[in-house]
């Protein structure tokens, strides 16, 4: 039988490949140049609003409003930051604390419940497992605006309005986190779990000592995404928290538009102050986040 | 140390598949028992029931005097070695070895001592700080073994632990596992689909097929006196030749006739197996091991009534011996077991693809000095005192 294995094909094709190398090399290089050019343009488009925000935070009010707009600050100033930091009506430190508390609790709860439920859905056999899992995942399809009113009424019943826990408790279980964690845990071989069981480990110990340490990358990514989501949350905190001293940071974005008819220079500076913690968290966890985002469940 | 006993054990999965049926098996204290059979025969399931990783549908599994059906794995005090080793990738070799001891809250110094001692036994002392990723297949295998040894459990359970190693390493580890087991005298159940592994390692070997235990005995007995056609065909390498034959009485001697060949059954064989005389005139499945066929020039037997003419299809040299493949002009034995064996060996679903209805493939292991070239017709002699006769209806061994 004259069957041709892939190896044979390679051997047959080899001389032609050598001949074609110079032309292919050129094509390869020009392909890369185009790729980099396209990626650079897209990168600039993505970064532009962010850069503009930072630059505008150093412009005086008149320059921000100027038509045609300027890109670089003509007369750079730190007045916007001074105004915000010295605003007696704006307890910025308290907002930071509130936001940090909510975001950190949110991250801890999401990572814990996500990985624990993910482990259960990935490695335990029980009745209606698939049904329960897909029911949880299906909740991702519901727009948050749909559950806003019922959510508000439930918090009202629970006396959690104007309470930071009112933001934290409803997001204790995140369907997306459960889904992502389950997919990653599925790639841990069953033999490892069984081996630990035979070695005498309790289920809790297996979760803690065998499963969790292998999830560092996805946990970092998920943690970062959750932190960002929580830190930037605007609408729900606006509804749940109405008392000044309970508010979280994104509220300051409305501070200078609602009360004092949109002072864009101050809004830009406030925005920069708001995103700094997110940038710090990202910088710290960058290595794990990139790894987590590039992993597709394959180990 | 402990005995392990299966009593009428059955395992039925929720989808109705019966993986193990009514298994009765007693493994002695310190015994090395091998469970062998083709894939899907229930051997791994049986092992997992001992470990507690699979529940028992009915019957009892006992370790020592205690029925362990409802005992969680952690309370059974058995250690398991998995096919893919199941090393924890985020732990060093040392941490892998010490994990079970740490769970048992053993003092740190004692753990270190035991881990070092175990690493010494296995010759992996210099690997203790490495992660599994940085180890070769053989080294991982040793660590997996070490993880079982370090616990000093009542029993070792091994689920095809050598199947991921290359041939040379496998032979080496075979001997090593056997040596360690003998030194430690720990009751061991070793699961494999490789009959050579089973024969070389086991004190006793249990052959399984489709969830049913076929025969359990020492490797020698399985080879010499297989209980049925399946065991006869599964044990031994190259596999036993099987052919549809008729037993007839001619001149007061019993003759096995298949195609144009007539073999006179040795008188000693008839004396040892008197029940065979009742098969006069009946169709049987005749089993002839390749090792009992020799070239006429090199046999010590009288060729009269034992001759088999063969045209060489293929010759494989093994050094001192050579395997000669040829065909005999008789239909192959196509009992359920024989079909099962062909499927397992050729790895096909439809046996018609590989079976020639008019001729039976035969292999003979002959002296390599014998002149046996491709296409040549050679005179072979069969040792008819070592035949196997099976009932074609149920595959049971008649003699």
Q: State the nearest Cα–Cα gap between B153 and chain A, in angstroms.
A: 10
What confidence tier does A294 reach under pLDDT thresholds 50, 70, 90? low
Q: For chain B, list residues whose CB is within 8 angstroms of any CB belonging to chain A.
A: 48, 51-53, 72-74, 76, 78-80, 82-90, 99-100, 103-104, 147, 151, 157
Cβ–Cβ below 8 Å for A200 and B84: no
pLDDT tens, residue by residue, A153-180: 999 999 989 889 988 998 888 999 999 9
Report the alpha-carbon distance of residue B382 to residue B399 in Å, rounded: 17
Per-residue buried b or exposed e for A8-20, using 16+ beta carbons within 10 Å of the residue's own CB: eeeeeeeeeeeee
Helix (H, G, I), strand (E, B) or coil at A124: coil
> Mean pLDDT, chain B, as a whole number?
92
Residues B270-291: pLDDT tens digits?
A: 999 998 888 889 999 999 999 9
Kindly state the average pLDDT of the residues B12-23.
94
Closest chain A residue by Cα to residue B84: A191
Contact partners, residue B369, CB within 8 Å, separation at least 6: B298
Length of chain B: 399
At A110 the pLDDT is 95
How far out from the chain centre does Cα B37 lie? Answer: 6
Q: B103, A199: Cβ pair inside 8 Å? A: yes
Give the CA angle between residues B294, B298, B299 to the nearest 5°: 60
Across the interface, of A191, A200, A299, the residue whose CB is closest to B74 is A200
Element (H, E) at B258: strand B253-258
CB contact under 8 A, B86 and A197: no
Residue B311 C-alpha, separation from nearest chain A C-alpha, in angstroms: 23
CATH 1.10.3720.10 fits domain A92-296: yes
pLDDT band at A24 (very low <50, low <70, confident <90, very high): low
Cα three-residue angle A272-A99-A50, rounded to 5 degrees: 20
pLDDT tens by residue, B245-268: 999 998 889 999 999 999 999 999
Chain B: give the shortest CA distance to residue A163, in Å: 41
Name, in order, each residue with C-beta under 8 angstroms of A273's C-beta and a sequence gap of 6 or more.
Answer: A81, A84, A92, A252
Q: Which of B79, B82, B104, B105 to mutate to test the interface with A (most CBs of A within 10 A)?
A: B82
Centre a 10 Å sphere on the Cβ of residue B297 and count the other Cβ atoms it contains: 13
Judge contact between A74 and A263, C-beta under 8 A: no
CB B312 within 8 Å of CB B372: yes
Q: How far is CA B396 from CA B129, B226, B284, in A?
A: 55, 9, 10
Q: Chain B residues with CB inside 8 Å of A299's CB?
A: 89
Instruction: Say yes or no for a CB contact (<8 Å) between A198 and B52.
Output: yes
Identify the band that residue B364 occupies on the pLDDT scale cut at 50, 70 and 90. Answer: very high
B73 contacts in chain A (CB < 8 Å): 194, 197-198, 200
Over residues B82-113, the pLDDT tens digits come to 999 999 999 999 999 999 999 999 999 999 99
Helix (H/G/I), strand (E/B), else coil: A123: helix
- Residue B61's contacts (CB-CB under 8 Å, 6 or more residues apart) are B4, B5, B6, B7, B9, B49, B50, B67, B68, B69
Residue A285: its pLDDT value, please? 77
Which of B71, B81, B92, B103 to probe the A interface (max A CBs under 10 A)? B103
pLDDT of residue A295: 58
A7 vs A30, residue with greater confidence: A30
Widest pairwise Cα distance in chain A = 89
Interface test with B, best of A200, A206, A213 (most B CBs within 10 A): A200
Contact B34, B197 (CB under 8 A): yes
d(CA B136, CA B144) in angstroms, rounded, equals: 12
CB-nearest to B99 from A191, A199, A214 is A199
Closest-CA distance, A105 to chain B, in angstroms, reads 27
Q: At what angle do helices A92-123 and A129-138 cross, to 10 degrees?
A: 150
In this model, does residue A262 exceed pLDDT 80?
no
Which of A156-160, A254-258, A288-292, B343-347 ranks highest by mean pLDDT? A156-160
Tens of pLDDT, residues A100-144: 999 999 999 999 999 999 999 999 989 899 999 999 999 889 888
Task: Please say whether the beta carbons of B177 and B171 come within 8 A.
Answer: no
Question: Out of A198, A205, A210, whose CB is closest to B78?
Answer: A198
Dihedral (Cα; B331, B332, B337, B343), 10-degree rounding: -120
SS3 B325: strand
The answer to whether the CB atoms of B86 and A205 lie below 8 A apart is no
Q: How far is B53 from chain A (nearest CA, A)?
A: 7
Question: What is the least distance, in Å, from the CA of B7 to any CA of chain A?
Answer: 22
Instruction: Grade residue A16 by pLDDT with cuts at 50, 70 and 90.
Output: very low
C-alpha neighbours within 13 Å on the C-beta side of residue B49: 29
Q: What pLDDT does residue A177 have? A: 94
pLDDT, tens only, B179-206:
999 999 999 999 999 999 999 999 999 9
Query: What are the boundaries of each domain within chain A?
Result: 29-77, 92-296
Task: Give the ranges where B10-81 is alpha helix by DSSP (H).
Answer: 43-51
* Residue B295 pLDDT: 95
Q: Each residue of A212-255: pLDDT tens digit?
A: 999 988 898 899 889 988 998 888 888 888 887 888 888 777 77
| Per-residue confidence (pLDDT) for residue B319, from 0 to 100 | 92
Query: Strand runs (DSSP E) across chain A, as ranges?
Result: none
In tens, the pLDDT along B324-338 reads 999 999 888 877 777
Give Cα separations from B36 to A107, A267, B3, B141, B342 (angstroms): 50, 75, 19, 20, 17
Do the interacting molecules here have an ipTM over 0.85? no
């Amino acid at each position: 039988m004259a069957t041709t294995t892939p190896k044979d094909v390679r051997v047959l094709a080899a001389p032609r490949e050598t001949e074609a190398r110079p032309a292919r090399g050129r094509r390869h290089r020009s392909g890369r140049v185009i790729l980099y050019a396209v990626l650079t343009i897209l990168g600039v488009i993505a970064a532009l609003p962010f850069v503009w925000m930072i630059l505008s935070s150093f412009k005086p009010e008149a320059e921000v409003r100027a038509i045609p707009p300027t890109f670089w600050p003509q007369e750079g100033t730190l007045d916007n930051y001074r105004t915000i930091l010295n605003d007696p009506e704006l307890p910025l430190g308290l907002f930071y604390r509130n936001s940090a508390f909510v975001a950190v609790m949110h991250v801890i709860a999401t990572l814990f419940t996500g990985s624990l439920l993910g482990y259960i859905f990935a490695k335990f056999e029980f009745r209606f497992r698939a049904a329960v899992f897909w029911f949880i995942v299906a909740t991702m399809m519901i727009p948050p605006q749909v559950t806003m009113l019922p959510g508000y009424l439930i918090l009202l019943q629970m006396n959690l309005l104007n309470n930071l826990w009112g933001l934290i408790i409803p997001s204790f279980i995140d369907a997306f986190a459960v889904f992502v964690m389950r997919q990653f845990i599925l790639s841990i071989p069953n033999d490892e779990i069984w081996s630990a069981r035979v070695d005498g480990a309790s289920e809790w110990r297996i979760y803690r000592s065998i499963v969790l340490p292998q999830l560092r990358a996805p946990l970092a990514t998920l943690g970062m995404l959750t932190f960002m989501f929580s830190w930037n949350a605007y609408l729900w905190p606006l509804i749940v928290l109405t008392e000044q001293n309970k508010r979280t940071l994104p509220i300051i974005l409305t501070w200078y538009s609602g009360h004092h008819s949109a002072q864009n220079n101050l809004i830009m500076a406030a925005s920069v102050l708001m995103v700094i913690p997110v940038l710090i968290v990202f910088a710290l966890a960058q290595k794990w986040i990139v790894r987590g985002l590039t992993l597709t469940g394959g180990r | 140390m402990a005995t392990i006993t299966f009593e009428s054990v059955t395992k039925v999965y929720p989808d109705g598949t019966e993986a193990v049926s009514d298994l009765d098996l007693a493994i002695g204290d310190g015994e090395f028992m091998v469970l062998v059979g083709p894939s899907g025969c229930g051997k791994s399931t049986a092992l997992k029931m001992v470990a507690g990783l699979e529940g028992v549908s009915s019957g009892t599994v006992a370790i020592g005097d205690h029925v362990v059906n409802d005992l969680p794995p952690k309370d059974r005090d058995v250690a398991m070695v998995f096919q893919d080793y199941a090393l924890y990738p985020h732990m060093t070799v040392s941490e892998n070895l010490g994990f079970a001891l740490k769970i048992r809250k053993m003092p740190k110094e004692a753990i270190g001592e035991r881990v070092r001692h175990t690493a010494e036994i296995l010759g992996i002392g210099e690997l203790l700080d490495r992660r599994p990723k940085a180890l070769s297949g053989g080294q991982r295998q040793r660590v997996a073994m070490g993880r079982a040894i370090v616990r000093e459990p009542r029993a070792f359970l091994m689920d095809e632990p050598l199947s991921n190693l290359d041939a040379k390493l496998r032979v080496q580890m075979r001997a090593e596992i056997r040596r360690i087991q003998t030194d430690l005298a720990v009751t061991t159940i070793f699961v494999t689909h490789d009959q050579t592994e089973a024969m070389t390692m086991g004190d006793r070997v249990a052959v399984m097929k489709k969830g049913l235990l076929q025969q359990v005995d020492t490797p020698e007995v399985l080879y010499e006196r297989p209980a049925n056609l399946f065991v006869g065909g599964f044990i031994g390498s190259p596999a036993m030749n099987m052919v549809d034959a008729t037993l007839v009485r001619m001149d007061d001697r019993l003759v096995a006739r298949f195609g144009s060949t007539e073999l006179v059954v040795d008188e000693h064989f008839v004396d040892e197996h008197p029940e065979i005389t009742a098969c006069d005139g009946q169709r049987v499945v005749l089993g002839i091991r390749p090792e009992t066929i020799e070239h006429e020039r090199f046999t010590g037997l009288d060729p009269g009534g034992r001759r088999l003419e063969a045209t060489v299809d293929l010759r494989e040299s093994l050094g001192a011996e050579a395997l000669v493949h040829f065909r005999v002009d008789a239909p192959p034995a196509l009992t359920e077991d024989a079909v099962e064996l062909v499927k397992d060996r050729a790895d096909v679903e439809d046996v018609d693809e590989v079976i020639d209805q008019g001729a039976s493939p035969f292999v003979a292991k002959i002296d390599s000095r014998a002149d046996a070239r491709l296409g040549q017709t050679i005179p072979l002699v069969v040792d008819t005192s070592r035949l196997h006769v099976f009932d074609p209806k149920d595959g049971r061994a008649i003699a």
